[in-house]
Amino acid sequence: MGEVLKIRVDGEEVAAEPGQTVAGVLLGMGRRSWRTTRGEGRPRGVFCGIGVCFDCLVVVNGVPDVRACRRRVADGDDVRAQHGAELPS
């Protein structure tokens, strides 16, 4: 086993490995969606998986609009679901 990172996902502490993407961690937890759309509040998760579609947006360390499929987790990251259009906290 390699190094283990600790991150928080919607307040819950989760173990992750270096190199995992935020989407990889979320899908591995069984999450399918973690964002709602600005207009109709539709649930969204990963779609294109390679940073093109911007469906998998998530809030990381208070910064919204982070592509979960591209962002690698770092120790101590605080990941939150994104609801509609959010401003940085």
Partner 1 sequence: MSRETARVAVVGAGPAGLAAARAAAAAGAGVLLIDSEPAPGGQYLRRDALADAAGTARRDRATALPAGTEHLPDTSVWAVEPAPGGGRRLHLRTGPADAPGRRGRTVDAAALVLATGAHDRALPFPGWDLPGVFTAGAAQALAKEQRIAVGRRVLLSGTGPFLLPVARSLIGAGARVAAVLEAGEPVTGWLRDPAGLAAGTGKLGELAGHLALLARHRVPYRPRTAVVAAHGDGAVRAATTVRLDPDWNPVPGTERTVEADAVCVGFGFTPRTELAVAAGCAMAGGFAEVGAAQATSVPGVFAAGELTGIGGADLAAAEGEVAGAAAARLLGFAARPPLRALRRVRRGRRFAAALAAAHPVRPGWQGWLRDDTLVCRCEEVGRAELVEAARARQAVGTRSLKLATRVGLGPCQGRICARNAAELVGDPALADGFARRPIAAPIRLGELAEDPRTAAP
Residues that bind partner 1 (CB under 8 A): 19-21, 23-24, 27-28, 32-33, 37, 39-40, 42-55, 57, 60, 63, 65-67, 69-72, 74, 88
d(CA 30, CA 41): 21
Closer residue to partner 1 in complex, CB, 6/85 = 85
Closer residue to partner 1 in complex, CB, 6/48 = 48
CB 9 within 8 A of CB 28: no
d(CA 18, CA 44): 25
Q: State the minimum distance, in angstroms, from the CB of residue 39 to partner 1.
A: 4
